[in-house]
Amino acid sequence: MIVFNYETDFELVNEEKYSSWISETIANEGFEEGDINYIFCDDEYLHKLNVEFLDHDTLTDIISFDYTMGKLISGDIFISVERVKDNAKDLKISFDEELPRVIIHGVLHYCGFKDKTDEDAKQMRLKEEQYITVLEK
């Protein structure tokens, strides 16, 4: 079950569309959907989590806590709406183009995709693009 939570004044438009898209992605990667919570927040909220739980004193657009067991995907995915907006501006794309990439990024991590090396990051980006194309249909 996918649940969207809000710790800021942002609200996702068409939650059902996103929920179905995420579920389809999980199934296409050969996994089962468990409990996935998306928490949309601001930079301050996410920075506090980054320092407290990961010992990183930096801003980030996403932090995911993976509770996956075997093929059952579960976790909490925190997204800073402020960071997504800033990243979109830096990339010269719209917020609505950047947000799906960040949303699916967390789930792809749960499916085993990494992004620490250049090669892994390239594979992650290809998967993000593959699934963003599905969402846009």
Q: Are the beta carbons of 114 and 125 closer than 8 angstroms?
A: no
Give CA separation, 61 vs 10, 29, 32, 64, in Å: 15, 24, 25, 10
Is 9 annotated in a binding site? The answer is: no
Encode burial over 122-132: b for 16+ CB neighbours within 10 A, e otherwise: eebeebbeebe
Is 56 annotated in a binding site? The answer is: no
Is 115 annotated in a binding site? The answer is: yes
The SS3 of residue 64 is: strand
Q: Are the beta carbons of 106 and 75 closer than 8 angstroms?
A: yes
Interatomic CA distance for residues 86 and 113, integer angstroms: 25
User: Binding site for Zn(2+): what residues are annotated?
Assistant: 105, 109, 115
User: Binding site: what residues are annotated?
Assistant: 105, 109, 115
